[in-house]
Structure 1
Amino acid sequence: MKPLLIVFFSLTLTACTTQLSDYPESQPAFDLATYFNGPVTAWGILEDYQSKVTRRFCVDIIGSWDGNTGTLDEAFYFDDGETDQRIWRLQKTAEGQYTGTAHDVVGTAKGSIRGSVFRWQYKLNVDVGDKTYQLFLDDWIYQIDEHRLFNRTKMKKFGIQVAELSIFFDKEAPVSRCRNTPLLPTAGLE
């Protein structure tokens, strides 16, 4: 009986999975190169597998594009004082289709846009203490309006969710930079 219940619940969960095709006409239509062109600031939290917030952070992002090739320079500032940088090299490969690489990304990230939603998937090397773990990230980025995005990311190891990220992006002028975020240390922001 127990194996039958496991199969039933697995099929039920699979049937309820959101697909990018669920958002074909959602508005406003998301354009990666338009939104991530110039400065953007984002704020986020990391939750562990028990939904406990374990980290808060701010990210200053500068995006630039040359035709179908883009760069996102991300500077991360965590509530424990840690800083990090990721520079994405992005390529538009077809209408609504993108690939990307970065120093801590394993292989090539791939993403697609439908309506106001961008799904971005990749493997990321994550340092925890003196160990590095390879996690699979499944980003769902939703355009709220011309200035704001909301991102939910499931982080998995061996197919099991181990953490979740929630990130709010804002590019409304004047852009509020991380150095204006009072809850985070400002060391290394200059």
Structure 2
Amino acid sequence: MRCLLLGFTVTVSLLLMSCSSDIQDYADSTPRFALEEYFQGELSAHGMVQDRSGKVLRRFTVEMVGHWDGNKGTLEEDFVYDDGELQRRVWHIEKTAEGHYIGTADDVVVPAKGQTRGFALNWRYTLAVPVDGKVWEINFNDWMYQLDERRVINRAEMTKWGFKVGEVTLWIERNI
């Protein structure tokens, strides 16, 4: 029984690792995604939250304002959900090296560590998410792809205990 359980665990781990993209896959792509350039000024986004089977649970819009001073930035996000709920998140982002970022916010339990290569950004962090009157710590594997100077597609897989629990998809546009 112990061998069977170990074999199952190894198999599941290998499958999960094989599903992950590597940021290096995008090293030669353009445009070059620099958070301090893209998230400067006013932006708008439209998105949705899906459960693990793909069913849309919520839709939302986000108004964002980004400010950068050297290697430190602030991104203010104001969410309006389709059920009328309002939510605000303020990210504090620091560029620690070329293409490397750290981000924090009040509901971010484990700080976001991000890396850019080419037109892609990958953030990984843990967020405190209210669910049915309780707060769950959900892990995010968050990918952003800059299509051009105005548009970014953002897709985040949410996991708990190593299992996919949902996904968030956003379309972000700079208000130029």
Q: Is 1:147 aligned to 2:147, yes or no?
A: no
Q: Over aligned residue pairs, what C-alpha RMSD do you find?
A: 1.7
Counterpart in the other structure of 2:101: 98
- Given candidates 126, 131, 135, the residue that maps to 2:134 is 131
Change over 3 Å in CA distance of 1:106–1:13 after alignment to 2: closer
Query: 1:59-95 deviations in whole A, cap 9, x for unaligned?
Result: 0000000000100000000000000000001111000
Q: Does 1:121 align with 2:92?
A: no
Distance, in Å, in 1 between the alignment partners of 2:106 and 2:171 is 23
Query: Which runs of 5 or more residues in structure 2 are unaligned?
Result: none
**Structure 2 equivalent of residue 38 of structure 1:** 41
**In 1, Cα distance between the equivalents of 2:8 and 2:162?**
19
% of aligned pairs identical? 44
**1: CA distance, partners of 2:53 / 2:162:** 16
User: Following TM superposition, by how much is the alpha carbon of 1:13 offset from its aligned partner in structure 2, in angstroms?
Assistant: 4.5
Gaps of 5+ in 1: 174-190
Greater share of strand: 2
Q: Distance in 2 between matches of 1:28 and 1:20?
A: 15
SS state of the match for residue 36, structure 2? helix
Q: Scaled by the length of structure 2, what TM-score is found? A: 0.92
Q: State the Cα deviation string for residues 4-32 of structure 1 (Å, max 9, x = none).
A: 57744643452342111111111111010
The counterpart of 1:29, out of the listed 21, 27, 32, is: 32
Runs of 4 or more above 6 Å deviation? none
TM-aligned CA distance change 1:120 to 1:2, over 3 Å: same
